[in-house]
Amino acid sequence: MHNVPGTVWFVGAGPGDPDLITVKGRSLIERAGAILVAGSLVDDAATRWAPDGCAVADSKGMTLDEIVAWLIDAAGRHETVVRLQTGDPTLYGALVEMARPLEAAGIVVKAVPGVSSAMASACAAMEALTLPEVTQTVILTRVAGRTPMPPGESLAELAAHKTTLCLYLSATLGATIREELLAAGWEADAPVVVVHKATWPDEERVLRTTVACLPATLKNEKISGQAMIIVSPTLGARHWPTLATSKLYDPGFSHRFRKGETA
């Protein structure tokens, strides 16, 4: 027990591969006195850098109040406390819900970003989320399930923009995704990439399907969670016969490091 409460760090563990945690996140684990892990989603290997004597607990059976109580108690005992959670703590995490009562208890809270599964999945499939003159916008969203979507954020409304869609937490809703994409004007044969457990050693699967076949693919491959669904006009670009290239590297494009060549 020390006089001044310790700092609680919300650290993004990344998408699965423990080596994808940031250097700063690993450094915090190495000096942590206590670590609370989202064990249902974070690989146990992510705590392998914890020092001897570090108190490590799993939050998968805890309620929000129990998690907050554990962190408050740990901060009263240790200078550095880590809440280790999947992906990035600011995206589909309970960062604000946990930070508010901690701050009310006089505890300093800080966050360290992590690699999100959208980027990890695109890398696993060797796909670009943006391409010049194809789309320059990425929408990170989910389909309404037990958690409703706010007005104006239905998948059909967002999909109407015809930009890249990265769908989180939606693997059990393939039929709904298909219906809303078709309603938004996507073609039935538009390509879809599903990445299950992106970057997880020996568990990652990259599946390629279409809007029409998405529900059957999810069912047949027994994918019900920890999957990223990417729908984008950029998919398959590595195999297109022609491709618009970036102006940045065009010989005629000038910038502060290079003078463009004249025709």
Range name among 74-83, 128-137, 226-235, 237-246 with the lowest pLDDT average? 237-246
More confident residue, 255 or 10: 10
| Distance in angstroms (rounded) separating the CA atoms of residues 71 and 66 | 9
- Are 93 and 127 contained in the same domain? no
**Residue 171 covered by a domain:** yes
Half-sphere exposure of 52 (CA within 13 A, CB side): 0
Task: Please list the residues that pair with 162 across neighbouring strands.
Answer: none
Domain that holds residue 52: 7-112
User: What are the pLDDT digits (tens) for 18-35?
Assistant: 999 999 999 999 999 999
| Distance in angstroms (rounded) separating the CA atoms of residues 67 and 72 | 9
pLDDT at 151: 94
- Are 214 and 149 contained in the same domain? yes
| Distance in angstroms (rounded) separating the CA atoms of residues 82 and 10 | 6
**Residue 228 covered by a domain:** yes
Domain-ending residue, one of 112, 146, 171: 112
- Are 124 and 231 contained in the same domain? yes
More confident residue, 70 or 262: 70
Give the number of domains in the chain.
2
pLDDT at 256: 66
**Residue 198 covered by a domain:** yes
pTM of the full structure: 0.90
| Distance in angstroms (rounded) separating the CA atoms of residues 134 and 129 | 10
pLDDT bin (cut points 50, 70, 90) of residue 89 is: very high
Percent of the chain with pLDDT over 70: 92
- Are 132 and 185 contained in the same domain? yes
- Are 39 and 142 contained in the same domain? no
pLDDT at 175 over 90: yes
| Distance in angstroms (rounded) separating the CA atoms of residues 177 and 200 | 25
User: What are the pLDDT digits (tens) for 198-252?
Assistant: 999 899 999 999 999 999 999 999 999 899 999 999 999 999 999 887 766 666 6
Looking at every residue in the chain, the average pLDDT score rounds to: 92
pLDDT at 249: 66
- Are 124 and 230 contained in the same domain? yes
Average of per-residue pLDDT across 136-147: 93
